[in-house]
Amino acid sequence: SSDGGSQRTVSSLSRAGKMNGMHTVGKLMKVFVTRRIPQEGMKILSAAGVCEVSLWDSEEPVPRTELLKGVQGAQGLLCLLSDKIDTEVLDAAGPNLKVISTLSVGFDHLDLDEIKKRGIRVGYTPDVLTDATAELTVALLLSTARRLPEGVEEVKNGGWSSWKPLWLCGYGLSGSTVGIIGLGRIGMAIAKRLMPFGVKRLLYSGRTAKAYAAEVNGEFVPLDTLLSESDFIIVSCSLTPETQGLCDKAFFSKMKNTAVFVNSSRGAVVNQEDLYQALKNGQIAAAGLDVTTPEPLPTNHPLLTLKNCVVLPHIGSATYSTRGIMSDLAARNLLGGLQGTDMPSELKF
């Protein structure tokens, strides 16, 4: 198929150097784009006329060897969260690399210490995917709590007979206590969407209390309190050394056995073996995951054998409109970094 991937150069319009009416055509800056991205971004890069774009022309991730080859001599890199940008990649790129623009809000795939050392600017795409991700998280919570995938399956396999009072019963949000771990942009957007369902209390935990939590009557509590009192627990924190493996055996053991756990942040926040045991042993009621480790999750993974675990393929921001806007923003971040001007969304670190 055409998706084995190949590197191709998308020549830019040769308008470079025509700034301030100077007609000397400057040298185009080399840019490497690690995957096919929505057209919105490619159009912006083309129209700018300041860069020569090499693209890994595939829907699939760029193999490591091709990434190391592609970045050679690049001044700009536009990457995805599946591309690990570490010392090896930065060394391969060489000293001309000025900017890394990632098509994501998360940046745990970037070695920020090393990037900072080299004075490279970083662009990312926060805010624009907040609504889509919050919406998907609510959909995942409802699907998990009300057992939608199980219901669909029963209809298809003939398990649906007569109406039964307790068949496929789940848990509702009305009158419930919701706990959000990480009340940042996305956590807050989730909270605002859940409150109209009749949630009684909204608890949140994290590094600091947030003034804006007042909008949803959020109560800042220690993690242990959140775990023992919540009917629904939503993880929406970023992946850091502190949050890596946060949701482990001890974490699940503090939850109610009727509680539903939802993660739409990063897979590595959860110890999946411990989650499997907690679900299997009835320590918690159900789990909905939009993120796993690894991604994709192998089809023979134990979690996929459980009826009370709903796993989605990391589609939090997957609406046509959101992905188009992310692509546009990533391209504009890249151009700002190349030209030494403001980036619409620069990561300050």
3-state secondary structure of 327: helix
**230 HSE (CA, 13 A, CB side):** 31
Secondary structure (DSSP) of 184-253 = SHHHHHHHHHHGGGT-SEEEEESSS--GGGGGGTEEE--HHHHHHH-SEEEE-PPP-TTTTT-BSHHHHH
Residue 269 tokens read as 């926040």
Cα–chain center distance at 308: 23
Q: How far apart, in whole angstroms, are the C-alpha atoms of residue 181 and residue 207?
A: 10
Nearest residue to 184 (alpha-carbon basis) of 240, 224, 141, 229: 240
Nearest residue to 75 (alpha-carbon basis) of 12, 120, 30: 30
Taking residue 313's Cβ as centre, other Cβ atoms within 10 Å add up to: 11
Whether 314 is catalytic is yes
Report phi then psi at 317, rounded to 5. Answer: -100, 15
Residue 24 tokens read as 């000397």
CA distances from 198 to 176, 182, 193 (A): 8, 21, 11
Nearest residue to 251 (alpha-carbon basis) of 232, 278, 276: 278
Catalytic one of 23, 109, 301, 314: 314
Q: Are 103 and 125 in contact (CB under 8 A)?
A: yes
Q: How far apart, in whole angstroms, are the C-alpha atoms of residue 80 and residue 94?
A: 20
Residues in the chain: 349
Catalytic residues, by residue number, are 314
